Structure 1
């Protein structure tokens, strides 16, 4: 994570999934990934998926999302990660993340959201 001049802070959650892998092998691989990329805040995993969460700094959501989408593949060999693929990505600006954490939403209000007509 390299701070950029004028960069904003973003909360990133990358979800990967694939074929079943022994949980101890997944745990070991994720530990190696954490050593290679110590900025990862949290990791949750099962035998078929993992979610990595961290903070990143960048000038736009596109810049941060592009890096996040490459994270797993770029460390697959060096950390011995499973051959899983990215199946989910969330990138939100710090103010949105903070609003959610304090129960203030940050997304569309349920009182003003309307379903799409079918």
Structure 2
């Protein structure tokens, strides 16, 4: 995760607008290799990249007030959560994670719910869905008119 503002360079583009790095080739342009930016420049090996995470959890019904309070505490404990949506038996959490590769980003995401279950008093739900996509894919989806809209409004909201 992020430990401070040092890792936030280039986050300007998270709202669906092109950031400092740009998107490079158009969606119908040449294919790119994993780990390579669409402009073909690639990131130096081992340097962290931004990954958009969507984590879905579900389980037995819980009081809505408790679900909301738990998600608000989770957002406080993990300050880079962008948005959470919830109902009495499921929730979706969307945020950006900084990690070296998809495997690292997915591992952190899969631990998020369990590691914060006690401290945030989250329901004992299980993870039922996980999507991890790189920043370029996120922006390409937005440009093509599909995929998740930018995570606004930021915060915890009912479905």
What CA distance in whole angstroms lies between the structure 1 residues aligned with 2:145 and 2:58? 31
Q: Which has the higher contact order (CA 8 A, sep 6+)?
A: 1
TM-score (norm 1): 0.84
Deviation at 1:20, TM superposition (A): 0.3
What CA distance in whole angstroms lies between the structure 2 residues aligned with 1:76 and 1:36? 11
Q: Give a deviation string over 1:55-106, Cα, whole Å, max 9, x none.
A: 1111110000000000000000000000001000000000000011111669
| Structure 1, gaps ≥5 residues long | 107-118
Aligned residues: 105
| Structure with the largest fraction of helix | 1
Which structure 1 residue ranges, 4+ long, deviate > 4 Å from structure 2? none
Alpha-carbon RMSD across the aligned residues, in angstroms, is 1.6
Match of 1:33 in 2: 74
Partner of 1:44: helix, strand, or coil? Answer: strand
Match of 1:82 in 2: 123
TM-score (norm 2): 0.63
What CA distance in whole angstroms lies between the structure 2 residues aligned with 1:45 and 1:78? 19
